[in-house]
Structure 1
Amino acid sequence: MENNPVARRGPRPARTPSGRRLSPTRTALLETLQAQPEPTSLPALVAVTGLHANTVREHLDGLLRSGLVSRRSAPPSGRGRPGWLYQATPHSEDDPRPEYAGLAAALAAVIVRTSTTPAEEARRAGVDWGRRLAHDAGAPEQEGEEAARRTVAGIFDDMGFAPEADRDATELRLTRCPLLEAAHQHPEVVCSVHLGITEGALETYGAATDGVELLPFAEPGACVLRLGARR
């Protein structure tokens, strides 16, 4: 019997496959790869599923045989044979990936390569991005900080994070992730961008940003984004 694929730390991927008859674990792996803007390594897939590397490799081999996944050699890093990078094929699903995901992955790579304070720079870039996203989304339908937080939750929903809000929207469970490989490789940068997006959007709506916090891979099935201090 397979382990329950939902009982894992961190968010699920950003999209679901279109009705293919696969086991729950194999479906979860395919979803993960479909959600990514770049090829994904075996260690990243192991981290998000919580499964043994051999189990993940077995299911990836099955997806390869089905033509739903392709692979290529990863760039060499240190001793030993290079590993593989996996990617969903165009046959696995129509592919309207969030265009922001590729931009965020590229931004993370540039910041890591060029900055001496990558987390701070990523957060500042996220703040600017959040202001733009808030402007494009428009003002909340109602006044007040709760309405502002719910509008920010809508922004994250549009980006593919499938947020689940608590009663007053002070905390969001981000149940999907369109940036798994980048977040696995550079969590301090990718998560700082998303934290900055939150702050920039809240500021644009006139809401407080005290207590805003992002806890990556905080619980089975989700990252946790706190939109303000609990009252």
Structure 2
Amino acid sequence: MLNTPYRSPVLGPAPTQEPTAVATPAQGEVLAALSADGPATAAELGARTGQHPNTVREHLDALVDLGLAARDRDAPAGRGRPAYRYAALPHPSEGPAYRALIAALVEHFVDGSGRVAPGHSPASTITERATLLGRGVPVPESVAELARASGGAGGASSATSARRTVAQAMATVMAGQGFRTEELPRGRGLRLVNCPLVGVAVRHGEVVCGFHQGMLQAVVERSGGDPDSVHLEPFAEPGACLVRIGPATSS
């Protein structure tokens, strides 16, 4: 569950000080089409987006360089060299590439004036779609296995231990994406004190925070827990967003 609001000039985490790879709006449009419709050649994507195949190919090659897409030769069909078929890598493990993906998603969902683009309203729909994308973030099996093995059974202390282990698993995954976290008492969740995308989240939290909510749900689910037990509270307090493990808090 994602608890709003997103925007606050005072509350929330500090930005992560790290260079960020950025996809252009045109590259973001191609990436969004590739993510939504599956692997395709430049010609196929050109037909989908209305762009010339050569232009699309340039964008695709740039996305490959950013770590947001992969390419491989298509299956042979007659004479000549097979075309490249491109596939989106929607959840790169390296922070800069991951942040470029989020920037591309924002460009896809939001128009140049900063409003939700036609066809993607209301904002709740964007949050749901971004959350679904976040649910596909890879969770290292070593992290998930440790959390499952430490779950225990019975007693308040076991419940606390299980929450703490899941919180540590979330912290490990979030650190790989450029976040700095602090654990809440008794394993109740995390404080996100540095965010690599806080500047974008202030403007477009429905995309950014929705994706992060899905990413956290993926960690809990792969750790053997209930994904609906994790609740992201964007800009919850001075200096941090909050991630709570347990029943949602009323706002």
TM over 0.5: yes
Residues in 1 aligned to 2:213 and 2:220: alpha-carbon distance in whole angstroms: 11
Cα deviation per residue 1:14-70 (whole Å; 9 max; x = unaligned)? 13xxxxxxxxxxxxxxxxxx46555xxxxxxxxxxxxxxxxxxxxxxxxxxxxxxxx
User: Is the 2:13–2:238 Cα contact (8 Å) retained in structure 1?
Assistant: yes
Instruction: Give 2:136's aligned residue.
Output: 128
User: How far off its partner does 1:214 sit?
Assistant: 1.3
Residues in 2 aligned to 1:214 and 1:138: alpha-carbon distance in whole angstroms: 20
Residues in 1 aligned to 2:245 and 2:101: alpha-carbon distance in whole angstroms: 24
User: How far off its partner does 1:184 sit?
Assistant: 2.0
User: How far off its partner does 1:187 sit?
Assistant: 0.7
Instruction: Give 1:102's aligned residue.
Output: 100
The amino acid across from 1:157 in the alignment is A
User: Is the 1:108–1:122 Cα contact (8 Å) retained in structure 2?
Assistant: no
User: Is the 1:134–1:205 Cα contact (8 Å) retained in structure 2?
Assistant: no
Number of residue equivalences: 148
User: Is the 1:134–1:152 Cα contact (8 Å) retained in structure 2?
Assistant: no
For structure 1, list consecutive stretches of 5 or more residues without a partner in the other structure. 1-7, 16-33, 39-95
> Does the residue aligned with 1:191 lie in a helix, a strand or coil?
helix
For structure 2, list consecutive stretches of 5 or more residues without a partner in the other structure. 1-9, 23-93, 111-116, 152-161
Cα 1:111/1:136, change in 2 over 3 Å: farther
Cα 1:168/1:149, change in 2 over 3 Å: same
> Does the residue aligned with 1:186 lie in a helix, a strand or coil?
helix
Give me the TM-score of the superposition, normalised by structure 1. Answer: 0.55
Instruction: Give 2:234's aligned residue.
Output: 216
**In percent, how many aligned pairs have the same letter?**
33
Residues in 2 aligned to 1:190 and 1:37: alpha-carbon distance in whole angstroms: 16
User: Is the 1:111–1:118 Cα contact (8 Å) retained in structure 2?
Assistant: yes
The amino acid across from 2:211 in the alignment is V
Cα deviation per residue 1:144-178 (whole Å; 9 max; x = unaligned)? 13222321121112212111011332221100110
Cα 1:181/1:35, change in 2 over 3 Å: farther
The amino acid across from 1:13 in the alignment is P
> Does the residue aligned with 1:163 lie in a helix, a strand or coil?
strand
Residues in 2 aligned to 1:180 and 1:210: alpha-carbon distance in whole angstroms: 24
Instruction: Give 1:14's aligned residue.
Output: 16
Instruction: Give 2:217's aligned residue.
Output: 199
Residues in 2 aligned to 1:218 and 1:120: alpha-carbon distance in whole angstroms: 20
Residues in 2 aligned to 1:135 and 1:108: alpha-carbon distance in whole angstroms: 29
Instruction: Give 2:7's aligned residue.
Output: none
Corresponding position: 1:155 with 2:160 = no
Residues in 2 aligned to 1:35 and 1:173: alpha-carbon distance in whole angstroms: 23
Cα deviation per residue 1:122-165 (whole Å; 9 max; x = unaligned)? 11111112xx2344755226421322232112111221211101
> Does the residue aligned with 1:229 lie in a helix, a strand or coil?
coil
Cα deviation per residue 1:92-113 (whole Å; 9 max; x = unaligned)? xxxx963311112212332444
Residues in 2 aligned to 1:136 and 1:104: alpha-carbon distance in whole angstroms: 26
Instruction: Give 2:197's aligned residue.
Output: 179
Cα 1:208/1:12, change in 2 over 3 Å: same
